Amino acid sequence: MQAWLAQVSRTDDMIFRGLLIPMGLFIAAIGWRAIQNRQLNFRRRGEPLRGQAAVIAGVVVVVIGLGSSIAALISFL
Which mean pLDDT values do the consecutive 10-residue runs of the chain (77 residues) have? 67 77 88 80 71 82 90 82
What span, in angstroms and rounded, lies between the C-alpha atoms of 75 and 23? Answer: 15
Per-residue pLDDT, 38: 76
Per-residue pLDDT, 5: 63
Exposure of 18 in the CB half-sphere (CA atoms within 13 A): 6
| pTM to 2 decimal places | 0.69
Per-residue pLDDT, 63: 92
Contact criterion met (CB below 8 Å) for 24 and 62: no
Per-residue pLDDT, 2: 66
Domain positions in the chain are 21-76
Per-residue pLDDT, 54: 77
